[in-house]
Amino acid sequence: MTEAVSTKPDKLTPVLAVASATLVVASLYLIFVWVPTENSMGIVQRIFYFHVPSAATSWVAFIIGGVAAIRYLAIRDGRLDDLSVSCNEVGLVFCIVNLVTGVFWAKPIWGIWWAWDARGQSAMLLAVIYIGYLILRQSVDEPSQRAVVCAVVSICGMIDIPIIYMANRWWRTQHPAPVIGGGGVDARMGMVLAFTMVALLVLLWYLVRQRRKLAELQRETEGVRRMVHALG
């Protein structure tokens, strides 16, 4: 028999929706009104408060997706594949936001849309890996085979995360040297950065829950379709 999608009333999702919307609005207030303007770059530096937390949120999502993929390979529970694809797809959205905000920051500051430096390229590679992951999911029909192949890609994708993090330490890049934790950020700037990070993590949690419901629905539909084909 197919596994039916849970019909239990979901109390957490509306709470997460309200919490993420409230936190995001509060973070926008802090970014646009409360935090002081940085001296050298001026107002455009405020992109930093969204650019950096978007990258970090995508890494959290890809790591959870990768860990779920490892668990899937160990115990072959379809719900772990649902969690993995949900985290990876939502992580890709945050990764694209990170790349797009980076482009709009690079143009006025560096005078170019895209710097072909190690951090930028490794961040773009991460997006390409997970776009490939989603294309692969569409191209394999058999659910357990698809889950295994995608779990392997998901685990390999995680390898790029420490490379992105270390890129501006290992190589000379257009990106600046690390400022977080090195005393390079004003206390209020650090506070806004941390607040936005929390807001985006709550948003991630909400989006992953929504995406998981879709994955469960997809699994149930595939199960019923197989039964129809078997009887027909």
Residues in contact with other proteins by the rule CB under 8 A: 28, 42-44, 46-47, 50-51, 54, 90, 93, 96-97, 100-101, 104-105, 107-108, 203, 207, 210-211, 213-214, 217-218, 220-221, 224-225, 227-228, 231-232
Q: Which is nearer to other proteins, 69 or 207 (CB)?
A: 207
| Both structure tokens of 92 | 């890709």
* Minimum gap (Å) between residue 170 Cβ and other proteins: 27
Min dist CB 62 to other proteins, Å, is 16
- Tokens representing 54? 């978007």
115 in Cβ contact with 174 (< 8 Å) = yes
Q: How far is the CB of 4 from other proteins (least distance, A)?
A: 10
Tell me if residue 42 falls in helix, strand or coil. strand
Q: Where are the alpha helices (DSSP H) in 76-159?
A: 78-110, 118-139, 143-157
The Cα 150–Cα 182 span in angstroms is 38
Q: Shortest distance, CB of residue 140 to other proteins, whole angstroms?
A: 18
Nearer Cβ to other proteins (166/197): 197
Alpha-carbon separation of residue 9 from 6, 12, 13, 22, 176 (angstroms): 9, 9, 10, 23, 48
Q: Which C-beta is closer to other proteins: that of 28 or that of 163?
A: 28
CB of 110 to other proteins, least distance (A): 12
Q: Write the burial class of residue 3 (CB in 10 Å: 0-12 exposed, 13-18 middle, 19+ buried).
A: exposed
Give 48 or 72: the residue with its C-beta nearer to other proteins.
Answer: 48
Please give the DSSP secondary-structure letter assigned to residue 181: T
φ/ψ (deg, to 5) at 114 = -140, 125
* C-alpha to C-alpha distance for 18 and 24, rounded to whole angstroms: 10
Q: How many residues does the chain have?
A: 232
Q: Which is nearer to other proteins, 117 or 220 (CB)?
A: 220
Nearer to other proteins by Cβ, of 163 and 218: the residue is: 218
134 with 96: CB under 8 angstroms?
Answer: no
Residue 216 Cβ, how far from other proteins at the closest point, in Å? Answer: 10
